[in-house]
Amino acid sequence: MKYGHFDDLNKEYVITNYETPLPWINYLGSDSFFTLLSNTAGGYSFYKDAKLRRITRYRYNNLPLDQDGFHIYIKDKKTIWNPGWQPTRTKLDSYECHHGLGYSTITGSKNKIEVKQELFVPKNDNILLMRVTVKNNDKQKRELDLFSFIEFCLWDAQDDTTNFQRNYSTGEVEVVGSSIYHKTEYRERRNHYAVFFANKKVDSFDTSRDKFMGVYGSPAEPQAVKNGKCANSIAHGWQPVGAHHFHLDLNANESFDVIFGLAYVEVPFDKKFVKPNVINKEPAKQLISKYNTNKKFDEGLNNLKSFWNNLLSGFEVSTSNDKVNRMVNIWNAYQCMVTFNMSRSASYYESGIGRGMGFRDSCQDLLGFVHMIPERARERILDIAATQKEDGGAYHQYQPLTKKGNSDIGGGFNDDPLWLIACVDAYIRETGDWNILKVKVDFDNNHDVADTLLEHLRRSFNYTLNNLGPHRLPLIGRADWNDCLNLNCFSKYPGESFQITGPSEGPVAESVFIAGMFVKYGKAYANILEHLGLNEEAAASRKAVADMEKAVLKDGWDGEWFLRAYDAKGQRVGSKANDEGQIYIEPQGMCVMAGIGVESGEAQKALDSVKKRLETKYGIVILNPAYTSYRLNLGEISSYPPGYKENAGIFCHNNPWVVFAETVMGHGNRAFDLYKKTCPAFLEDISEIHRTEPYVYCQMVAGKDAPTFGEGKNSWLTGTAAWTFTVLTQGILGVQPDYDGLRIDPCIPASVKEYKINRLYRGTMYHITVSNPKGSQKGVKKILVDGKEVPLGVIPASRKKEVNVEIIM
Ligand code: GLC
Ligand code: GLC
């Protein structure tokens, strides 16, 4: 069942049924000010850091669901309703929500009154704009009341939801005309406030939640809305809110519009006040004046649309498959940008107060956006690298506001350092910016021990070699990519962290997955060294990689597939010798991507085993058979009921590894079949089963052992976005940035006859046509550049503005 449809021309998803299986959200903002917005106008805003600078409140796990947000109330005689249906949930006569790139429009109508809410965050300003247009479609005059409502968060989202003995006394506001200033804690150490304004004169307002809602009121029937006016309340402590009220008299066919804005404003410390307790509103007024007319609002929105069109024009594909086109050209790329901005911090499933930026997460996210914003990718790489420890290990997470490694969780996740090589390698292939390797970067944010980025990569590489176990395979530490495979934890007590409890630096437990990574990214590291003329070191690195490859084939091979690990007692994990969890997806994907066993036959066997034992109609489960009881030696993985999350769920993130692996083997039909299974655009028709947004990937789909097989969870913030984008564009469609140019090496279904791609690469627009007259799955026979045949292989980077490339398979 569908709840809407794609509008590819406008790059929107249009939701036509407000009762979506879960809130379907969008992200507004791309620089510093962000808003999460659901299809019923739920959500919240924050500045840079969803934990430390939360601007509005959001109650996670609330009942009824998704009640906090940016709601507009209409009072029409006795009927109270919202254009986005929530929170009154008054039945609407018509409804549409258009989620576009960085903006959303929600339109609802009831009894011949139509209300449209247009929301976006303009480029380069810290403000959420919302224009509300009310149209009387009746033949007669109508009298109505319109209310806006938001609830301020007292900045630190964690403190805001826990420290009530203090917070109920700190709230402060100021009101000037239609501008409501939220200034809690500004009197002391903060130099920032928020302002919620309207560009028209209000008839009344409220800033006290008790007054607007009623102490025992509810968002479904606020006291003020029932009364038809606000109380002009000034909040002192308790819960400061912002509500505007307009009384409307609309003739037949007449419209009324008003622009609201919610801004975050910083003031220099020495200019905080104009009089005792009167805040300096000048910067706020300036910001407001940039967006207080329809013309300025429209300009801001158009700028935003051109920004996105321009960004996405750097990679455009035209195939005969609409779903593929819309994923590459619009939604998958968009999701990559959102993961760039949010990492795993703020979504409808990540509360914004938990994790900051993950080391491995951010490195992998970069694979998906480096081509769109190479300068910001560069900055991100340097930020991440600066949190690396001197021994080459990594803090598992860092806080986006401070950019410092998070010492609560610390390090010891032994795959982390290798992801740094992966992302720097991708960055250099994309940009050719070898100079980045010379940049001096701190270790552990300590400038005294800064060294070049190349030295950071060296320490990443050596970190694996310095931490080998009994089989000369990498020690796993607290966990590798699979955060829940905790071989050194042995946690017996509820509440303990599975990741950081126990003798986490165990000297025995080894990971075949990290071994595969080491081979894959170790080769990339050696290429980099070679390019720099460091031939001896390159040769030594290749030797280390070859040794690892041997170790994997000797002790990391289980007969029909790659083993997952050795536990702390040296026993096999992910082996036919086990009663449960006999085979895992990660080492199959990673080892084959790394090229291990491709020549000697193990790779093919491993992929056959994936097909036989792990594949389902909704994708590949992480392991099989699922663990049915808790295992002390394996940790969190066995804490999940069978079929969920890391215990045999379909973890969308590593499905594309297997797709990549299939392209390594030249299996275009198979690669595309697998790609489709987890791709949201292909799941739109079963939205009632899949439940999460059909325009973005979710982290996990319940596996075949789960009662809710096929149900998605944790949408938006997942490394799946980057990996699926990369596998489709590079593995399948075959456009692979290389050190000195583009390599185009498709691996496609035999039935594909032709497709075209526009790809911006190092300033040149490549117009690529791939034709496949013989119906092959892989293998380029001929390359023409601007009409002239050139040797097979990398097409050297060009200095021209545009280049035509024809690829004949
Ligand atoms: C989550 C984490 C990621 C981890 C994965 C598997 O998605 O963000 O870092 O690799 O789970 O456990
Ligand atoms: C939980 C999740 C896993 C995630 C981890 C982050 O273990 O199952 O997916 O990576 O938390 O700490």
Q: What are the φ and ψ backbone dihedral angles of 535, each rounded to 5 degrees?
A: -70, -40
**pLDDT at residue number 662:** 98
The residue assigned the tokens 């992998």 is: 364
For the chain, what's the residue count? 809
Q: Distance of CA 69 to CAs 44, 149, 552, Å?
A: 6, 8, 52
Q: What are the φ and ψ backbone dihedral angles of 15, each rounded to 5 degrees?
A: -95, 125
The pLDDT of residue 367 is above 80: yes
- Ligand 1 centroid – CA 112 distance (Å): 49
Alpha helices of 352-412 — where are they, by DSSP H?
359-369, 374-385
**pLDDT at residue number 587:** 98
> Are 588 and 560 spatial neighbours (Cβ–Cβ below 8 Å)?
no
Say if strands 764-771 and 802-808 run parallel, antiparallel, or are unpaired. Answer: parallel
Local structure of 224: helix, strand or coil = helix
CA–CA separation, 539 and 526 (whole Å): 7
CA–CA separation, 528 and 711 (whole Å): 42
CA–CA separation, 108 and 86 (whole Å): 11
361 Cβ below 6 A of ligand 1: yes
Q: Residue 358: in which H helix or E strand, if any? A: strand 357-358
586 Cβ below 6 A of ligand 1: no
CA–CA separation, 721 and 377 (whole Å): 16
**pLDDT at residue number 399:** 80
**Which residue, 391, 377, 478, 353, is CA-closest to 54?**
353
**Which residue, 729, 728, 768, 733, is CA-closest to 747?**
733
> Are 511 and 415 spatial neighbours (Cβ–Cβ below 8 Å)?
yes
Cβ-based neighbours of 310, under 8 Å, separated by 6 or more: none
Structure tokens at 771: 């034709």
CA–CA separation, 204 and 75 (whole Å): 14
In this structure, the residue with its CA closest to atom 6 of ligand 2 is 483
Local structure of 252: helix, strand or coil = coil
The residue assigned the tokens 């709230």 is: 171
CA–CA separation, 48 and 53 (whole Å): 7
Average pLDDT over residues 492-520: 92
The pLDDT of residue 554 is above 80: yes
**pLDDT at residue number 402:** 83
Q: Order of strands, edge to edge, in the sheet holding 510-511? A: 510-511, 565-566, 572-573
Q: From the candidates 206, 365, 480, 483, give the one annotated as an active-site residue.
A: 483
Local structure of 389: helix, strand or coil = coil
Cα R_g (the chain), whole angstroms: 28
645 Cβ below 6 A of ligand 2: yes
Q: Which atom of ligand 1 is nearest to the CA of 344?
A: 8
In this structure, the residue with its CA closest to atom 6 of ligand 1 is 482
Q: Percentages helix, strand, coil for the chain, rounded to the nearest 5?
A: 30, 30, 40
CA–CA separation, 164 and 154 (whole Å): 11
The residue assigned the tokens 């960055």 is: 427
The residue assigned the tokens 């990290």 is: 514
CA–CA separation, 575 and 569 (whole Å): 15
- Helix axis angle, 453-465 to 512-531, nearest 10°: 140
**pLDDT at residue number 355:** 77
Measured from the Cβ of residue 286, the count of other Cβ atoms closer than 10 Å reads 10
Question: Is the bond preceding 625 in cis, omega lying within 30 degrees of 0?
Answer: yes
Q: Is 156 a catalytic residue?
A: no
**pLDDT at residue number 369:** 95
The pLDDT of residue 467 is above 80: yes
**pLDDT at residue number 503:** 73
In this structure, the residue with its CA closest to atom 4 of ligand 2 is 483
CA–CA separation, 38 and 27 (whole Å): 9
CA–CA separation, 490 and 487 (whole Å): 7
Cβ-based neighbours of 164, under 8 Å, separated by 6 or more: none
Structure tokens at 683: 């799941």
The pLDDT of residue 466 is above 90: yes
**pLDDT at residue number 453:** 98
Q: Which atom of ligand 1 is nearest to the CA of 719?
A: 7
Q: What are the φ and ψ backbone dihedral angles of 246, each rounded to 5 degrees?
A: -130, 130
Average pLDDT over residues 234-257: 98
> Are 552 and 591 spatial neighbours (Cβ–Cβ below 8 Å)?
yes
**pLDDT at residue number 357:** 87
Average pLDDT over residues 453-466: 98
Give the pLDDT band of residue 534 (cuts 50, 70, 90).
Answer: very high
Amino acid in position 56: T
Q: What is the largest CA-CA distance in the chain?
A: 86
CA–CA separation, 123 and 792 (whole Å): 43
Q: What are the φ and ψ backbone dihedral angles of 135, each rounded to 5 degrees?
A: -125, 130
Average pLDDT over residues 247-274: 98
Alpha-carbon torsion 450, 452, 456, 462, what sign? negative
> Are 449 and 459 spatial neighbours (Cβ–Cβ below 8 Å)?
no
pLDDT tens for each residue of 281-326 = 999 999 999 999 999 999 999 999 999 999 999 999 999 999 999 9
484, 486, 698, 717: residue to mutate for ligand 2 pocket, most atoms within 8 A of CB: 484
> Are 231 and 206 spatial neighbours (Cβ–Cβ below 8 Å)?
yes
Structure tokens at 630: 């808790």
Q: HEC states along 182-216?
A: ECCCCCCCCCEEEEEEECCCCCEEEEEHHHHHCCC
User: Regarding predicted confidence, which is higher, 503 or 563?
Assistant: 563
Q: What integer best gives the mean pLDDT of the chain?
A: 97
Average pLDDT over residues 92-97: 98
**pLDDT at residue number 408:** 87
The pLDDT of residue 50 is above 80: yes
**pLDDT at residue number 506:** 86
CA–CA separation, 644 and 625 (whole Å): 12
Local structure of 637: helix, strand or coil = helix
- Helix axis angle, 453-465 to 374-385, nearest 10°: 60
479 Cβ below 6 A of ligand 2: no
| Beta bridge pairs of residue 755 | 770
**pLDDT at residue number 765:** 98
396 Cβ below 6 A of ligand 2: no
484 Cβ below 6 A of ligand 1: yes
- Ligand 2 centroid – CA 617 distance (Å): 25
**pLDDT at residue number 46:** 98
646 Cβ below 6 A of ligand 2: yes
Amino acid in position 506: G
Ligand nearest, relative to CA of residue 358:
1
Cβ-based neighbours of 806, under 8 Å, separated by 6 or more: 768, 769, 771, 782, 783, 784
In this structure, the residue with its CA closest to atom 10 of ligand 1 is 481
> Are 554 and 600 spatial neighbours (Cβ–Cβ below 8 Å)?
no
| Beta bridge pairs of residue 619 | 616
- Residue 305, judged by CB atoms within 10 A of its CB (0-12, 13-18, 19+), counts as middle
pLDDT tens for each residue of 475-504 = 999 999 999 999 999 999 999 999 988 876
Q: Which atom of ligand 2 is nearest to the CA of 646?
A: 8
pTM of the model: 0.97
Start-to-end CA distance of the chain, whole Å, equals 39
160 Cβ below 6 A of ligand 2: no
**pLDDT at residue number 477:** 96
**pLDDT at residue number 354:** 83
CA–CA separation, 294 and 199 (whole Å): 10
